[in-house]
Structure 1
Amino acid sequence: MYSAPNTALGVALNVIASVFFALMFAYTALLTALGGEEIYGWRIFLTFPCLTLFILLRGYWPQVVSIYQRLYRERYFWATRLVSSFLLGVQLWLFMWAPVNGYGLAVSLGYFILPITMVIIGRIAFNDRMSRFQQLACVFAVLGILNQLALSQTLTWPTLAVCLGYPGYFWLRRKTDTNNIGGLWLDMALSLPVSLFFIIQGGQVISALDTSLNLLWLVLGLGLISALALAFQALSAPHLNLSLFGLLIYVEPVLLLLVAFLLGETISPAEWPTYIAIWLAVMVLVLEGVRSLRKQQKLSKS
């Protein structure tokens, strides 16, 4: 039965998803006995069955079948899937590795810059038009990046990995017409052998089973949080239009920034202009999104 979209419910579900993603970011502090690779391995291994169940229950399995059939019909399609899976794997690994290795702020900065790089790549790769707000946001972002370059001659590699890696991943998904949950499922399925390798190579959880189940329960908690984050995010989508969904993207990096502070990281005085400029860029994009949302609401009422 069809149910009308509920915007308030969609916003609540999406914010809850962002809270779960931030909680997972912080949760890694409880898993310091594991290396970043083993944490990543367990996250993929435990999340994949939950994602599969969600796809089956929500009726998205035909998307998986369609992409699977293309592996036989299209000559180089399998190669693009391997690249896509690798790009996603790097991001999921970095998300688990960064907070316990002192790079939480660097990753949160990458997520703040990400919308700007998405706009720029959309303009270059797909000839998308940039609005005046987007152009102004890009100016602020460039000023912030220039300040960071003046300080250290480079952005940290985790920041670059997020703000450049994710746009490359989404560009490939859009270019190959796999920008759906079926494409995400296949990317994670191809990551399973790597995740199992990291689990076996690390071996901390498996070896600890002989003496205590505490580490196992912590890892299972990680899988539960990851699955809930994906589920709430997916459930929110049908209740939100693209403009509002885009605005809510900014909730997560704000929460990641707070988590980084709670884990003991700090912003040096010389770096504050970088963050202020990036936050101004984000505020400009949020303002554009709010204006667009109000226009749509007025048109729907007229």
Structure 2
Amino acid sequence: MYKGVALSVLASVTFGVLYGYTEFLKPLDSEQTFAWRMLATLPFLTLFMWWSGELKLITELFKKVIQKPIYLLWLLISSVLCTSQLWLFLWGPINGRGLEVSLGYFLLPLVMVLIGCVLHKEKLSRWQLVAVILAALGVGHEIWRIGGVAWETVYVALAYPLYFYLRRLFQSDHLGGFWWDLFLILPVAFYLLSTSESLSLIAQYPHLIWAIVGLGFLSALGLGSYILASRFLPFVLFGLLSYLEPVLLAAASIALGEQVKPDEWLTYIPIWFAVLVLVVEGCLHLYKQQRLKQNLARNIEKAEARLNDQD
């Protein structure tokens, strides 16, 4: 379990570093940064999959396409859903919209809870109901403040749950599926680079070569750690640790010079409290599980002692 916790924290910290890493990629714009990220991440992801013995997942999906060509349509949809989020992740801080994007990541776990209730008929606990109410207050205030929630926030909060749900539905929810997400977007990446001054900028600023290599490495490291952590951890603890990421994204946005305006606090504070409520629920759940295990162990010891006394 300790290995899973370390991997999850490493993934969240890596994503937080990536949010501020865009400073090293200037003067590349968001489209150029996105294109280079796709090109640089794929080799590192392939090496990571080779190291973990998961290259076979790539060929498994290819065989599905050969057997059912219509499956390629799903892979294309998956690629658009995934890579558009990766583009937005970099576009936000570069264009001063980092807080709006990070707010989407704060709402994402709560939206996932609601989708679980609607699609999977799961029931909300009292803690989860309080969290949903708090988040609704924050969103309601944002709608009242500006007449609507920022599109960046809505897209992150809604498109990612759809992406995760469809990946599970079409059985591509593994690193092989993500590899195809990146591979199928490569033509777009090459087009963006061919119609920009990216190469001339790299010639003018040689440090960009190493910055792009670092971008690919960090992207592959963050995602690989995230996927592996999901295997080593119980679902509750894995979900609990995932809330570290939006906290770091908001911190990175503020570190980059963005500020929460006075009339925005009533949007962010209820949502942050909603996240805190879920964290408290997760801690209490883990505490109760630990107590149950301890009580069970004591009862087993007492039963064994009684059997020994009878002998």
TM-score > 0.5 by shorter chain: yes
Q: Name the SS for the 1:202 alignment partner.
A: coil
**In the alignment, which residue of structure 2 is the partner of 1:140?**
134
User: Compared with structure 1, are the counterparts of its residues 78 and 299 closer, same or farther at alpha carbon in structure 2 (3 Å cutoff)?
Assistant: farther
Q: TM-score, normalized by length of structure 1? A: 0.91
Residue number in structure 1 paired with 2:74: 80
Q: CA RMSD in A?
A: 1.8
Q: 1:238, 1:249 → 2: CA distance?
A: 14
Q: Is the 8 A contact 2:103 2:153 kept in 1?
A: yes
Aligned to 1:176: 170
Aligned match of 2:238: 245
Partner of 2:299: none
Q: Which residue matches 2:257? A: 264
Match of 1:3 in 2: none
TM-score (norm 2): 0.89
Work out which of the residue numbers 229, 232, 243 in structure 2 matches 1:236.
229
Contact 2:4/2:229 (8 A) holds in 1: yes
Identity of matched residues, %:
41
Cα deviation for residue 36 of structure 1 reads: 0.6
Tell me the equivalent position of 1:116. 110
Offset of 1:291 from its aligned partner?
Answer: 2.4
CA contact (8 A) 2:174 2:227 kept: no
Q: CA deviation at 1:300?
A: 4.4
Give 1:236 shift: 3.1
Q: How far apart are 1:299 and its partner, in Å?
A: 4.4
- 1:41 Cα offset (Å): 0.8
Unaligned runs of 5+ in 2: 297-311
Q: Which residue of 1 aligns with 2:306?
A: none
* Deviation of 1:174 (Å): 1.7
- Identify the range of structure 1 (13-22 vs 68-77) with the bigger mean alpha-carbon deviation: 68-77
Query: Aligned partners of 2:261 and 2:36: how far apart in 1?
Result: 34
- Please show how residues 1-302 of structure 1 align to structure 2 within 5 Å: 7-74=1-68, 76-204=70-198, 206-301=199-294, 302=296
Q: Deviations 1:179-200 (Å, cap 9, x if unpaired)?
A: 1222111111112222222222
| 1:4 aligned partner | none
The answer as to whether partners of 1:144 and 1:273 remain within 8 angstroms in 2 is: yes
Counting matched residue pairs gives 295
1:31-82 CA distance string (max 9 Å, x none)? 2311111101111111111111111221223322222222133353221111
Alpha carbons 1:35, 1:202 under 8 Å: kept: no
Looking at structure 1, the residues matched to 269 and 205 of structure 2 have their Cα atoms a distance apart, in angstroms, of 46
The answer on whether the counterparts of 2:79 and 2:181 sit within 8 Å (CA) in structure 1 is yes
Range with greater deviation from structure 2 (152-161 or 188-197)? 188-197
Greater Cα offset, 232-241 or 160-169: 232-241
| Contact 1:34 1:202 (8 Å CA) reproduced | no
Q: Deviations over 1:78-127 (max 9, x none)?
A: 21111111000110000111101010100111100000111112222232
Instruction: List alignment gaps of at least 5 residues for structure 1.
Output: 1-6
Q: Is the CA contact 2:24–2:208 (under 8 Å) kept in the aligned structure 1?
A: no
Residue deviations 1:253-299 (CA, integer Å, cap 9, x gap): 11111111111111111111111110111112112222222333344
Q: Is the 8 A contact 1:64 1:185 kept in 2?
A: yes
Q: Deviations over 1:154-187 (max 9, x none)?
A: 1111111111111111111122122122211111
Distance (whole Å) between structure 1 residues aligned to residue 28 and residue 61 of structure 2: 35
Aligned to 2:179, the other structure's residue is in SS state helix
